[in-house]
Structures are given as structure tokens and as C-alpha cells.
Structure 1
Amino acid sequence: MDVQILDSRGQPMASSYQGATSGFGNQLQDWNPTLQTADAALLPTLDMGNARADDLVKNHGYANGSIQLHVDNVVGSLFRLSYKPNWRTLGISEADARDMAIDVESAFREHAEDPVNCYFDAERKRTFTMMVREVVATHATFGEAMSAAEWITRSGSLYKTAIKMVSPKRVSNPHRVRDSRFLRGGVEQDIHSSAIAYHVINPNYGFGESISNLSYGEWKRIPRETSWGRQQFIHAFEPREDGQTRGANQFLSVMEQLFMVDKLQMTKLQNSVVNAMYAAVIESDLDSETAQQMILGSGEQSQKKLTDWLAFTGAYHQGANVKMNGAKIPHLFPGESLNLKTPGNADNGFASLESAILRYIAAGQGVSYEQLARDYSKVNYSSARASMMESWRYFMGRRKVIASRWASNCFALWLEEAFSRKILTMPKGAKYNFYERKAAWCNSEWIGSGRLAIDGLKEVKEAVLRIESGLSTYEKELAVMGEDYQEVFNQQVRETEERKRAGLPPPSWMQVTALNEQTESVETTGETA
């Protein structure tokens, strides 16, 4: 039955958007989705969606490759701290801020990137970079990443702050109670939908049992922060809508395609194997009914007759060993013919279909098709660079919103302890203490993996031109390469001094610079004369 909306005059109300009507030829008539909030759409099926995403990452090559792309491009091999205290707000000099930044960066790297003791990890399994890589991988899989702050005294560790990684699988409502206004998805909230505490389960399950199927365990309530503002639980995700409590994993929009492309590949592989197994078949002129009557007959002796018939024909084929010049010539049973089978290797559009599906999946994952499929055979430099730049923009957003935000929260916890216990001291003359201007004291940036260079020479020339024209700085360009400009400059100074002491000539770029300066000096002197 057609339903019409009438205006005040009883006339059908016209719609400004065709997408909200039944469409051309009533094609949209049966498409009537329900308008829901983010939590109403996500939370009832959160466990199943995350379980399917987890299964895809474990068993699907493209899904696992997508996670690895996120980790390698967002974080890389070292996640560097670039500490930048807001010295104007704090009332300290820029020189003092730079000196303090050097001390803070050195102390943080020494503790957080300790590859032997791993004191910054509560489990003592990961360095700080490894923890950030896990955060990005978890977020790419489940749409969110979680961790808790711990205070652990350990022999040999200068600091007591440690970070405990928390799997989103473990955050749920205590005793699996239904979601309510102030408790949704294991997150306790206030009237403004601001998180107050998180409920983490330590399930009592045996080997091989599933966390999501258990109703019993020990839930621990972890407050978001202490009364004085020290953060106790870190929840990193990017909300798409107001009031959203939990993150939605990226696989939800392409999960069906990822699941089916695996089945498509396996079916094609099985088909190819079966076609290659049989080189020839022996066909009989007898139709099915006649052959059945001849072989089986009727009565209780039918099974014995079938066995005798197969044994007889098998013995006949084995005994018909006729050869000519070493080549075997089959002598078939009367009424049989030999039909050679050529293994079919026809693509039947499989490659095009798979490529189209992978492009769809790549768009849903925020990466390029070439990166996801590892296929660069059909692109030139311009198209490959455009594709990489689109992906790089996406990865930089993920670095800023997820990786850097999580890392900044962990760094703030560490810096609070370092200042409170006088391991590090604030510059003299600061107008505010740590708690009065926490954001200014903890302001920092993070340097991850560098951008992939398709043509290194062209991209270096581009960076040089941007610097020379005043459109960029060494700090920005080296950050794009995944390097810290201060470390590079200091290393260049050390290397230059060492080359002088060893009697080696300076690098060619320094010679060119010196030659240009001499030429300019001579020209200026000549003009003056």
C-alpha cells in the first residue's frame, strides 16, 4: 500500500530530494532504513562485529595486510617525541624551553624505549613504540584502543608510572546487564555523555573458551581520572556522532566483501585443481538406464554384480597393455571411447571481479588499491604518487587523532611523575605549576614513519625548493621523512668536525655553498671598487 504525506491543503507534499522518495521506477520503495543514534546502531551488535573483524584479521591476507599498512605508515619503527612546551603561556624564555625540551626528550626516550627492561609497559613486553603500534593495530581492527595507568614500584626502575594495555573485548557492562542511560558498552557516563569510569572484566574462563560468551567474571571499575586530574584510563577513538560511546571498526562497511572474496579465491583454486587432476575419461555408449540394468540387474545380488563388473572392467584395462615403439595404446572395452580433457585455465573474468572487489575494500579501509593488493603493475609515476598522497593524508589524520593523542596522554602521566618527584625540574620563573597549565607543560608533537618516496630525487628537489622559497622549514620537511631536525643538525655538526680532524674534505653541498659565498663576495667587492 502506497503511503503519501499530505500538506495542510490535502495535497501530496513534494520532496526536495529525490533520494528521500521512492525513486525512479519505485526502485527505492523498499529501502526504508531506521534512523538511529550511533550507540543504538552499534552497541547491540558490537561483540559480533568485533568478533568477525578479529577473525578476518587472523585468517584473511588482505585484512591482515590492511592492519599492517596502518601500523607501518602511522607509526613506523620509532615514534619520536618532539617536546614543545608553550613557553609564552608559562612565562619562561624560549631558550629555557629549548633546554628543558632537550632534557625531557632524552629522559623520556631512555625510559620509554628501553628494549631490555620495558618498565613503561606494565606487562614488561613492549617498548613505547611497540605499544603505539599495538594501539594503531587495535584501533584499525576494533575502531578503538584502550589502556590503563598503573603505579608500580620495580627494582631498577626510576619511574613508577606504567601503562597497561586493555583489549576492547574486555570492556563491557558488569554481569552483562542491558545498556542504560548512564551505562553503555561498559562505559559509565554522566548527563553530558562524558565518560566517568570503565568496567573491565577479568573473566574466569578456561582454555579455548570465548570471552563474549561468558556471563561470569570479575569486573573492575576503573575511573577515568583521579580527583586531582591524573588520568587513569585512556580511550582513543574518533566519534562520528554526538553521544557515541564506543568506536566502530572499519571492517563493518566492507566485511561482507572481504568474507566473500576469500571464498571466491578458494572456489577458483579448487576448480583449477579439479580441472588439472583429470587428463582423460573413458566414456561408454550405453545410456544410464541400460547400463544400470546390465550391471546391477535387480534383487539382492545387485551389489555383488556391480562389484564383479567393476573388477572385470578394471582387470581388462590393466591387461590391455598394447604398446607401439614404447608408447602405450589403450585398448578399450567394447562400447567405450577415450575422451581427452584439456585442463581449463580460462580466467572467466575472475581477475577483473577480484580487482573491483579489492578497490571497494581499499576505499572502505582508507588505503589505496595498489597498497592493499600490492599491485603496481598498472600505474605510472603520477598516478602512483597521487594514490600515495591520498593515503598519506589519511594516515596523518590517524597519527594525529589516534596515535599522537594516545602517546600524549601517556607522556603527560610520565611528565607529571617526573616533575612531582623532582626527577626533572621546571625552569625558574614559570608563572604556573603543572596542574594549573597542564596542557601548556605537556604540549608535544610526535614523529612517526616517513612518507614513501616514489622518486627520491624529485621529492628532495621539491623539499629544497619549498625551504628556499620560504614555504616550509627544515623541521617540517625532515618530519615528513620521519626524522627530527635537531638530531640531524647536531649529527651534521659532529660529522663535520670529525671530517676536519681526519683531514677529509667537507661534503659536496658544503663546498658548493662556500664557493657561492666566495663568488658573491668577489662580485660585491668588484662593484664597490
Structure 2
Amino acid sequence: MNALRKIKRLKAGARANAIRPVRRVGASHGGTMANWNPQRAHRGSERLDRERMQTRTEDIVSNDGHAASIRSTLTTNVAGPGIRPQSSLAAKKLNLTADQILEIESAQEEAFELWTSEAHIGGLLHFADIQALSVSTLIPFGEFCYLCRFLDEPARTRKQRNFSFTLQDIHPLRLKTPPNELMSPYLRDGINFDEDGEVDGYYIHTPAEINDPESYTYYKAKAGHRRRFFHCFRSVDPEQVRGVSILAPVIKLFRDKYDFLDYELIAQIVTASFPIAIERAIPPEGFDDPMSKDWDPRWYQNVDAGQILYTNPGETVNPISSDRPGNNFDPFFKTVIRTLAAAAGLPYHQVIKDFSETNYSSARAALLESWREFEVYRGWLVRHFLQPIRIMVLEEAYLRGYWKIPAGAPGFYEAMRLWTACRWTPPPRGHIDPDKEAKANERAIATGQKTYKEVLGEQGKDWREEFEQEAVEQNYRKKLNLPVLDPANVQTYPDEPEEQEEEIPKTGAA
């Protein structure tokens, strides 16, 4: 009986495994796949590959106009004039009234605004400038680093600062492993991990100077609950520990494009100089010996404007012509730029800053797509950098008495996340059709789909500041006996019919 059941199980297993999976073409070794054998960097080459790649991308964004445009576009749209926080405390969870919440939120925002001008250790950068520097560094290096500095009281008083907490920017190439620690099992590319894989600290390299040898300084990642070092990068691979530039997949194409355009430009310069070649038969007709005393040739090294050339006997003048660039230069070059823009997640027109070949619908679709990309960057920046910094600032502001917690509410350390909750206001989004978008916001507020806080936040404004300013202006109009503005009295106009969009001529580019 047992043998019969065993036979039945074997037959069932055979039926279950009767159909084998289809072999994937990507795993074959035939045809064009024969020599495709990707290699993984080993522990010793990981650091060298990263440093070489970061150095190349740094060179590209410094010398290539389109790479610089990508960095400028992302920096301007992600950080812009600075992402501002708006305190958003929960009254019910904190056991506070609405008036108490407004008072605390206002005090918190004033304290943080006071710190923003002191954010940089050297006093060179406002916090908005630090945000722009962070995004600008992220593009070529894929990461950025800041050391948290805490001034002691004498230094804080001497420098006339209200806060001791400041930030010092660190070049990503300075984050590296000391030579004597290359074999450490917990140290990887300048970052030291503990047994659980959590970052313990960072090694910062100081290059050798004339009188000082090179050195490596170890900084702990945290001191208690406070951050001591910010190393931020967007993770795209599992177990990733260092950043990768978004330009890395197309770095070779950038370099080839740069050389291609440079060679074409040189060819045009040579052609524009109108070079000529004098062709001569040897020996010239009528002279048996070109070196005889009767042979006194004329030589032309330069051709001036309006000059008439009289050649020697037997010579003819031939202009050197060039057929470059060819007819396919423009579509080919645009295809290259589109590839580079796609790697950066940007529309082609935003990279070249030319919207002459687009219409309203395509421009709006492109800008909405890029805006989603900017929001992803901005959300990542807030989570990993801006909000942790704000928590540290509000903690010091609380300890220094810039804002207070009313009696009966939970303590700061007891409910730190609740006391530091906020909404970060991004730079204002550009308007393609301001009238349509204003009407859409008006309907959204009227139907409860949006609040003034959300609508004004999308425009990079603080709703409290706007309401306070509106009240000031209304009171001043009353003082001057001017009519008080009433939205109900605004004259409305019927929507204009949509204009017929012109068809964009095809240029042959993909």
C-alpha cells in the first residue's frame, strides 16, 4: 500500500514538472549576446570605480553646456529660492486649543527663520543656499555631505549667533577609507558600519598640504539622538552605501557628444576662413628648370578682403569646400540630447531651453511630468535632510526658550514628532494658463477639495503671512477711504474657446 502511494506521488511530481520554463533570450550566449558578460566590482575596485566616475561627472557638468543645463534645471525647480517649513501641529493630540497652536506655530517659524541666516559655519550660505548646493552637488556626485558643528558658548557669543548648531559642507570625494583600514570587515568606502549594518561613523580625508601630511578624521554618525553627520544619497540598488550620479549611465555619451560637437564647430571655423589651395604643374609650362634665375615665383600666405590674386604660370586657385555638417546633423544631435535628457528624467525642451517646437498640450504634459520628478526629489530631500535639520533647530530653540510648551501638554522629548510636525512649502509651480488654474483653485476651495493652506503652499507662500498681509491692506484701504475689495464683486468673463493648436512640424528626430 505504501509502495502504491509512493508511485502515485512520483507520477504527480512528474506531471507537475513536465513543462519546463521557456529559456530567456537575455541569458543566452549566441549572436550579439556572445560577449556580453557583465562584471561586478570587487571590494578593492569599488572605491576606485566610484571616484573615477564622480571625477568624470564633475568634469562633465563643469565643461558641457547640456550637463550644466540639467544640473541648473533640477536645482532651480527642486530647491529654487528655498523650501520653507510651515508648522502643522495637531491640537487634539497635543491637548491644546486652536489659539495655543497658532501661537506656538508662529513662534516656531520665527525661531527657524532666525536660524536660517546662521545655518552655515562660515557664514557664507543661507539655509536656502545650502538647499541649492545640496541638489547641485547631488547631480554630479549622487550624494552630498554635511558635518554638524556645535559652537560652544564663548564662540557663539563672539560670533553673535543665536544658535550653536551649524552646518559645514564636505566634498563627497573627501569621504574615503584610510589606507590602513582597507581590510576592515565593517568599513566600506569610507563608511563604518556596526554589526547590525547601521552606520556608526565616517572617515573624512584631508589632502596633504605643503607643511601638513594627509590625514583622516573619524566622525560619529550620531551623538545620542542627535545627528553629527549628514551623508545623503538616493538608493537605487540593494545594499548601496554610496551615491551614483544620474548622469552615470550616459557619461560616455556626454563625452562623445562633446567631442562630436567640438569637431563640427572646428570644421565650420575652418570653412568660414575660406581657405584656398594653389595647384601648380611641375615644372610650369614654359620653364624647364623651376630653380633657374628666370623663375621668380609669387607666394601667397594670406588672402585679404577684396584682394586679386595673380598666380604664377601653370598655377590655378582652388577653394577648399566642406559639406559638414550633413543634412542629418540636426535630427541626429536632437536624438542624442533627448537620450541625455531622458536619463536625467527631464523633458528634452527643458534641457535645451527651447520651446519653439512645442504647443500648449505637449508643453503642459512635459512640465507636469517633470514636476512629478521634482516632487520626488523634493520629498526625498525633506525626509533625509530638511526635516531632521528642522528637528535639531527646534530642539535647540525650545531649550533656549524661543518657544514654550503650555502646561498640560506632553513634553518635547515625549512627543518630539508631534511638536516638530510641519509641511514643507515648495517653490511655486509655473503657470502655463494662469486664468484656468486660478479658476480651478477657486472651485477646489469652494467644494472643499483644497484649503487655502494647500493652494497657497503650492505657490510657495505661507497662508498665515498672506492672510495677515491681506488684513493689513484692507485696513489701510479703509484708512484712505478706498473701496474694500470683495471677491464677490470681481467681474467674471466667459471662458474663451480653446485656440486651435498648430501642428509641430516633424524634423526627423526621434
TM-score range, shorter chain: 0.7 to 0.9
**Distance in 2 between the 1:224 and 1:384 partners?**
44
The unaligned stretches of length 5 or more in structure 1 are 1-7, 208-213, 296-304, 319-326, 514-529
How far apart, CA to CA, are the structure 2 residues paired with 1:175 and 1:109? Answer: 43
Q: Residues 233-382 of structure 1: matches in 2 within 5 Å?
A: 233-278=229-274, 280-286=276-282, 312-314=296-298, 330-341=309-320, 344=323, 346-382=325-361
> Closer, same or farther in 2 for the Cα pair 1:242/1:340, shift >3 Å?
closer
Structure-2 change in CA distance of 1:237 and 1:328 (3 Å): closer
Query: Structure 1 residues 508 and 95, CA, compared in 2 at 3 Å: closer, same or farther?
Result: closer
Q: Partner of 2:444 in structure 1? A: 466
Aligned to 1:92: 96
**Alpha-carbon displacement from aligned partner over 1:232-277 (angstroms, at most 9, x marks no partner):** 1122222123321111111111111111111111101100011121
Number of aligned residues: 465
Instruction: Name the structure 2 match of 1:51.
Output: 55
Is the contact made by 1:200 and 1:219 (CA closer than 8 Å) also made in structure 2? yes
| C-alpha separation in 2, matches of 1:444 and 1:42 | 39
Query: What percent identity do the matched residue pairs reach?
Result: 24
- TM-score (normalizing by structure 2): 0.82
Measure how far apart 1:381 and its partner are. Answer: 0.5
Residue 85 of structure 2 is matched in structure 1 by 81
The aligned residue for residue 324 of structure 1 is: none
Q: Tell me how far apart the structure 1 counterparts of residues 279 and 324 of structure 2 sit (CA, whole Å).
A: 23
Letter in 1 for 2:200: I
Per-residue deviation, residues 405-455 of structure 1 (Å, max 9, x unmatched): 312121111111122233321232122x33333222222222131112122
Alignment of 1:469-480 (within 5 A): 469-480=447-458
Maintained 8 Å contact 1:272/1:344: no
1:393 aligns with 2:366: no
Partner of 1:523: none
For residue 472 of structure 1, give the secondary structure of its aligned residue in structure 2.
coil
SS at match of 1:262: helix
Which of residues 170, 185, 189 is equivalent to 1:185? Answer: 189
Distance 1:343 1:242 in 2: 52
Deviation at 1:13, TM superposition (A): 9.8
Aligned-residue CA RMSD in angstroms? 3.3
Aligned to 2:462: 484
How many Å apart are 1:401 and its aligned residue? Answer: 0.3
- The separation in 2 between residues aligned to 1:241 and 1:148, in whole angstroms, is 25
Residue by residue over 1:169-221, the C-alpha shift from the partner in whole angstroms, topping out at 9 and shown as x without a partner, is: 111112364264311111111233211111112222359xxxxxx9x622221
1:12 to 1:467, Cα distance in 2 relative to 1, 3 A: same
Equivalent in the alignment of 1:143: 142
CA contact (8 A) 2:142 2:246 kept: yes
- Change beyond 3 A, Cα 1:104–1:341: same
Report Cα offsets for 1:122-158 as digits up to 9, x if no partner. Answer: 1111111111111111112211121121111322222
Matched residue of 1:313: which SS? coil
Gap change, CA 1:475 and 1:176, over 3 Å in 2: farther
Give the drift of 1:340: 4.1
Match of 2:26 in 1: 20
> 1:225 aligned to 2:225?
no
Q: 1:47 and 1:63 mapped to 2: Cα distance?
A: 19
Residue by residue over 1:342-378, the C-alpha shift from the partner in whole angstroms, topping out at 9 and shown as x without a partner, is 6656543222121111111111112111111112111
Structure 2 Cα separation of the partners of residues 236 and 449 of structure 1: 21
Name the CA distance, whole Å, in 2 between partners of 1:12 and 1:40.
Answer: 45
Aligned equivalents of 1:384 and 1:63: distance in 2?
21
**Structure-1-length-normalised TM-score:** 0.80
Map of 1:16-165 to 2, 5 A cutoff? 16=22, 18-22=24-28, 26-34=31-39, 43-112=47-116, 114=117, 119-152=118-151, 153-155=155-157, 156-165=160-169
